[in-house]
């Protein structure tokens, strides 16, 4: 009995131990599964949270406006903001929101990047002073490049005044007369007449006249950029004014519920000509106060970016291209030039973005109490070129989207979407190339080829379905390389145009890039 009881005890103990081990194993497996499941859920929540932050920062919905931006709005003012809707329920909606960099610069980690660029500017200044002191034996502080680039400013101011007054008086008067003619007989004849006069004014008054002044007076590059960019801006503004108000008058001619067509007041059109948007509305969301300290800060930052660009060209571009321009064009020199131009090209890209799209537009928006400050989105987070094109310059993108892309689809009855996208790229590329050709004084379609060839290709390859950090790296690499190509080729052509004379005065020689055939013996120092 004793041995039998011991056997029973041993069997019971071993079975109990096995059952306990089995339960422990099951519990460990369950714990591991629960932990892994919790970690997956946690990672999923974190990813969703970060994605929502990025989407909210780039969305068109109104963001909460801190008290530092403007005083709190009353209930009556909030109700008014709901009335800022585009005509006929379509088009861009304007709401009160800050610029993205203004929000990001409140974070110390992001503001440190801004401080790094200021430190680099200080080093550029010190480098220039040290080199001048060692070479010249004195401190040379003359900004001869800036003085040359912004030459003949009185002529620039007079030309701009003429352009602005014509853009204020001619389109508004033509539109007002046309709206009154819709009340009488032969409305289609009057529409054809006033439309032809408006197109003639766009082509001659705003198109030919400023270009003629720039070319005939041989204005320097920066002065040319001021006039030509204002020319393009005013042409886009006047088109938007007519495009947004003509449907309103045509809708009245069908219904005629009011005694007369409601045309915008001249004060509304005058405000639109200055406000930093290319989409016309009778009313925009407005801030109650003007922060003049904010305006002064932004204008000083624009001035700082101007001197920053000066030192970039003086220290990084001019010494390099003076030596390269003395060599015959070949593939080796081209490759070395492109990679040596990436750093100044990237700095010029950042400076142009920060100075114009952030500082300049925000300064004018603040002076005009314009509350919608989304002039750009988080283009630096783009994983596709399609998203980059939409977020880099929202002001121009909105105009192209509503008045080129959507109008093309409307005329084609939404049957040719790829053709509409190609048309938008073509319009943008032609306008960019026109600006550079007139301002530099030569035709070298580098930017046009980059837009129409690589831009279109990357737009379809790096599309919105591309997600992840690797695609953002590819986008930045392509962008940096493109900036190096632009700076290299345009700088080489600039020196070749200055120092290498034409072999014969023919149209083909004018179109042919002179840097391709420029030799050392033909160039003068």
CB atoms within 10 A of CB 44: 10
Stronger pLDDT, 264 or 72, i.e. the higher one: 264
More confident of the two residues 360 and 425: 360
Mean pLDDT of the region 504-516: 71
Other beta carbons within 10 Å of 275 = 21
* Lowest mean per-residue pLDDT among 196-205, 261-270, 319-328, 476-485: 319-328
Residue 70 has pLDDT above 70, yes or no: no
Average pLDDT, the chain: 78
d(CA 104, CA 354): 13
94-114: average pLDDT: 88
Question: How large is the average pLDDT for residues 354-364?
Answer: 93
Q: Is the pLDDT of residue 359 over 90?
A: yes
The percent of residues in the chain predicted with pLDDT above 70, rounded, is: 73
Q: Catalytic site residues?
A: 432
Query: Is residue 248 pLDDT above 80, yes or no?
Result: yes
Report yes or no on whether pTM surpasses 0.85: no
pLDDT digits (tens, 9 = 90+) for 378-395: 898 888 888 888 898 999
Average pLDDT over residues 334-352: 88
Torsion angle (degrees, nearest 10) of CA 32, 35, 39, 45: 140
Q: Of 52, 71, 58, which is closest to residue 99 (Cα–Cα)?
A: 58
Q: Which residue has the tokens 């009245």?
A: 252
Model confidence over 295-330: pLDDT tens digits?
Answer: 999 999 999 899 888 888 888 888 777 766 555 666
* pLDDT of 85 above 60: no
Mean pLDDT value across residues 434-449: 88
**pLDDT at residue number 171:** 92
pLDDT at 159: 93
Break the chain into its structural domains and give their ranges: 4-76, 142-274
Mean pLDDT of 474-491: 88
Residue 262 has pLDDT above 80, yes or no: no
pLDDT-derived band at 253 (thresholds 50, 70, 90) equals confident
What is the DSSP code string of 446-508? HHHHIIIIIIHHHHHHS-TT--SHHHHHHHHHHHHHHHHHHHHHHHHHHHHHHHS--SS--HH
Q: What is the pLDDT of residue 11?
A: 42
**421 vs 328, residue with greater confidence:** 421
Strand partners, 370: 286
Angstrom distance (rounded) from CA 2 to CA 127: 100
> For the residues 203-207, what does the mean pLDDT come to?
90
Q: Give residue 273's pLDDT.
A: 93
pLDDT tier for residue 470 given thresholds of 50, 70 and 90? confident
pLDDT of the residue at 363: 94
What does the pLDDT average to over 36-64?
44
Q: What is the pLDDT of residue 138?
A: 67
Cβ distance 463 to 384 under 8 Å? yes
Q: What are phi and psi of 286, to 5 degrees?
A: -120, 145
Cβ atoms of 337 and 492 within 8 Å: the answer is: yes
Using alpha carbons, select from 231, 236, 201 the residue that is nearest to residue 215.
231
Distance from C-alpha of 58 to C-alpha of 55, rounded to nearest angstrom: 5
Greater pLDDT, 272 or 63: 272
How is residue 262 written in tokens?
């409601």
| Residue 7 burial (CB count, 10 A) | 10
Lowest mean per-residue pLDDT among 117-131, 322-336, 445-459: 322-336
For residue 509, the model assigns a pLDDT of: 66
**Percentages of the chain per state (helix, strand, coil), in multiples of 5:** 75, 0, 25
Q: Provide the token pair at 71.
A: 């005083």
268-282, 326-340, 442-456, 488-502: least confident range: 326-340
pLDDT at 165 > cutoff 90: yes
pLDDT over threshold 90, residue 356? yes
Per-residue pLDDT, averaged over 255-261, amounts to 63
- Under a CB-based contact definition with an 8 Å cutoff, are residues 180 and 171 in contact? no
The yes-or-no verdict on residue 28 having pLDDT over 90 is no
CA distance 172 to 174: 6
Q: Is residue 301 within 8 Å of 281, Cβ to Cβ?
A: no
3-class DSSP state for residue 105?
coil
User: Can you give the pLDDT at residue 318?
Assistant: 82
């Amino acid at each position: 009995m004793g041995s039998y009881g011991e056997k029973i005890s041993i069997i019971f103990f071993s079975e109990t131990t096995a059952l306990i081990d089995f339960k422990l194993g099951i519990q460990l497996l369950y714990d591991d599964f629960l932990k892994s499941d919790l970690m997956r859920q946690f990672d999923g929540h974190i990813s969703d949270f970060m994605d929502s932050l990025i989407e909210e920062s780039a969305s068109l919905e109104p963001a909460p406006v801190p008290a530092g931006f403007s005083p709190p709005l009353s209930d009556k003012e909030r109700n008014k903001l709901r009335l800022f809707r585009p005509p006929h329920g379509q088009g861009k909606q304007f709401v009160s929101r800050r610029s993205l960099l203004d929000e990001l610069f409140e974070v110390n980690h992001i503001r440190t990047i801004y401080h790094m660029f200021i430190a680099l500017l200080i080093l550029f200044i010190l480098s220039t002073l040290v080199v001048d002191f060692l070479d010249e034996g004195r401190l040379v502080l003359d900004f001869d490049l800036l003085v040359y680039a912004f030459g003949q400013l009185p002529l620039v101011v007079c030309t701009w005044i003429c352009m602005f007054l014509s853009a204020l008086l001619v389109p508004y008067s033509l539109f007002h007369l046309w709206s009154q003619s819709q009340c009488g007989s032969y409305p289609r004849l009057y529409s054809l007449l006033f439309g032809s006069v408006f197109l003639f004014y766009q082509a001659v008054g705003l198109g030919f006249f400023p270009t003629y002044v720039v070319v005939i007076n041989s204005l320097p590059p920066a002065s040319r950029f001021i006039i030509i960019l204002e020319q393009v801006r005013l042409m886009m503004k006047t088109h938007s004014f007519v495009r947004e108000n003509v449907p309103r008058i045509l809708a009245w001619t069908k219904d005629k519920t009011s005694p007369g067509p409601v045309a915008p007041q001249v004060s509304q059109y005058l405000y639109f000509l200055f406000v930093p948007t290319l989409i016309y509305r009778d009313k925009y969301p407005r801030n109650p106060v003007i922060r003049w300290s904010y305006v002064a800060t932004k204008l000083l930052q624009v001035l700082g970016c101007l001197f920053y660009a000066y030192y970039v060209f003086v220290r990084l571009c001019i010494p390099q291209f003076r030596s390269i321009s003395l060599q015959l064009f070949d593939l080796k020199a081209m490759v070395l030039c492109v990679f040596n131009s990436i750093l100044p090209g990237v700095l010029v890209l950042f400076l142009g973005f920060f100075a114009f799209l952030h500082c300049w537009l925000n300064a004018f928006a603040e002076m005009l109490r314009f509350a919608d400050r989304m002039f750009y989105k988080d283009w630096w987070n783009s994983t596709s070129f399609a998203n980059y094109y939409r977020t880099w310059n929202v002001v121009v993108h909105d105009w192209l989207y509503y008045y080129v892309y959507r109008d093309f689809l409307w005329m084609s009855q939404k049957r040719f979407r790829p053709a509409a996208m190609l048309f938008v790229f073509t319009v943008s590329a032609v306008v960019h190339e026109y600006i550079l050709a007139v301002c530099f004084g030569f035709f070298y379609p580098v930017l046009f080829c980059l837009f129409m060839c690589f831009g279109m290709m990357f737009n379809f390859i790096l599309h919105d379905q591309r997600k992840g950090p690797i695609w953002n790296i590819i986008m930045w690499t392509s962008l940096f390389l493109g900036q190096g190509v632009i700076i290299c080729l345009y700088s080489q052509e600039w020196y070749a145009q200055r120092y290498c004379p034409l072999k014969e005065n023919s149209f083909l020689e004018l179109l042919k890039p002179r840097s391709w055939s420029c030799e050392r013996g033909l160039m003068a120092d």
